Structure 1
């Protein structure tokens, strides 16, 4: 039986609708009725009905607003609206909410209601079938990906070529020819983070994999595999005078790059080669792609061919003479960037970041050192901004950047986020003076374990109301806020180097050093010991 919730502030109408239809014959059951929009929200959360029939003209929260909230809580819920008159504005809004019907109360008959109910029941049934089909496809896809991972694992372990070829054939990958050309493709992180945030990295990788697979279906011999942070492409081909494998792979690459820009708004980078590998050497070729690391850090992102000297490419920034200048040479530029972030605005920070990047390129700073330094120093900047908690996914992206251009783009996105957080915090303090009182109360009692109940009592507020009020203002609960504030203070004291970790922990109300280290890592991203070393 499908569950139905009825809502109407006209009690006689509510009873009339409840008695009008043969619910059980339609496979439906009325599980709740209410004339209150507030009660409706409560009932919906408790019952999670499949179908809601609601009056639009409710007091307090109207039916359209209720429906929008229901859809947020349960996207697949079906909706039927009731109203006293046909209003085009209401009809238009109902359509945007994908309602199944819009019924006029004064004209409502048993047949009209049951027709609307059948329509909703049919759509619920269709949704169920689609959901099952999608779940099945996802299971098949997930299993196929695991099997393909196993195939790459066999290649890397140097398994017998005939056994590998046979296993690939069972997966629908006909490696019939003698020669192979591997390639690795990954998105640049900066465009993804700037547009979608760090949380967008995983879905973008998944979307890129699907896109690459669809395009590969039009290119005979190209197979696509998912890696942790990249795609692996394998071209299997027969060497002939008429076939240029590099041009063929580049044609595929350009189509994938254009689709990535158009549909996902991402930029791609890649590396491929060596050419004409036998199956027995394909594992070594893939391993070589995985070990390119930061070899092309100071080049412009693009599609690189392994083993080609810079002179042959017409560039002066190739693999010869790897950059090795110490990162300390950039200290002056970093100080200028820090000052711009702390005291200036977006324009000053952008100019300082540009100067920082130009100096890194000119000095050819060792890439690994540069990345680690940028990560550590940005974390320090974040600790100076109240309420800002470092995102693990953001730092994973920053530390995985393979090009200077991408590193600077991710760093710039982090700095812009810091500036936005600081500005929002200043506006919030101006608008809500109580937040400053909260900060002052916590700072005067750093060695105590302050609860939301303590804070509410200080502000003469109900504890339950205070918790909701604080979450609404700051987007986090009070305990997380206090821990975050204490960890910022802990980082400053540890950085000064005058106290041990145990002394800092005790001063901030943490008697257990292990627990303190765990909390510190959650908010700062590294342990106290690692923080001191950096």
Structure 2
């Protein structure tokens, strides 16, 4: 709805208009009823009305002065003069101030004012429709411009296309690689709010325009929702000129000043020549997008200065990390989980493992943790490995991966607490933790009874009452679930698994395993052909 302000020092006029005009029916709300121009101007400063109906002769500030002030603040406000002065001079001044109408109070009636407001409402709606259409056209034009720039960049990066496929469009954008050297910058944009990549890209493009100089222009070429290439034109050599670096520094400051937007910058100096230009862009996109995984917010560095990724295998440290994370879950410690994740991410940053391997390693760590939890809790879950894979694959910075993984662990801590606190009795909780920590040997009822300082018979009855299963059954169940994990995920032989779970007799272990799962260890692993065969010891990777 549009708003209407009434201004008149005659209270009966204000009362008449306020009460007799069907505001809502006409699509209006009454903004305010003011007794003089000074009060009206103050209220308009808080919120400008769409229409003002005002008298001329008023104390403190007359109607004409009020109209001048309102027009200075908003050229779109509509004004109707309602006056008892039929002097042509006043009417002439009102016309110069571009008022919508001039009505004498002696001719004023409900029907006249209602019809006038209806016409003004139509005029305002038409104005807003035209503005919306203009904005739509402008947005479409801007979108087409972005698509053109994105298309040019991708065609440049496509090695199989001849130069003629992109050079003419590149020239329209101001790129002349045959004539001049360039400095290309990969800008990786990130933010905390998901789904707002286009908005953040627009903010960066706006920042580019604000800091560009005519003699040292910057062209922004979008590549994806989070990456764009900034091309500094006008270079004359093979190195980054002082002007380029200065503009890039101002650009970095401008981007950092935008709320909820962060960006890192990698630059590459490209000598003149279309072949050099294409190869430089390909190198920047291929290596720079991967290197950006480790760059901090606002970091500015040359692509050639960044060290390559290590060739070490991160999976050689997997068993150690998985054991530490498991222990933190047993302790139900959020602080310990955060400490461990910080430790391992610090190690990853220090060594600079390839981002693909880091995501693969983290995927396995999160997946194995989830499967262990589901096995202990014995419930069906809607957990999706595919969804987890896709989520991690889309993370383009190690900081995002670290924060999200910690939240993943935190969300599961309540389930762990529930798992170990199905009973409020500390003895049962301690025993479950004790079993999880001593799966590598035979655990007897007498041993844990002594551990809890309880009589063995009393402990046996207590455990059965609180858990619904005997202590021996619980130990066997827990060991068999661990056996399934090792047979499925590790190179251990059946004999090794049995031995590491405290079973000296392989046949007895096989019998227990079949009672628990319905298959022998060999069948479960696939060595007997009942499952898809895989070489024992083959590490399962979940490619990102």
- Structure 1 length-normalised TM: 0.49
Larger Rg: 2
- Higher RCO structure (Cα 8 Å, ≥6 apart): 1
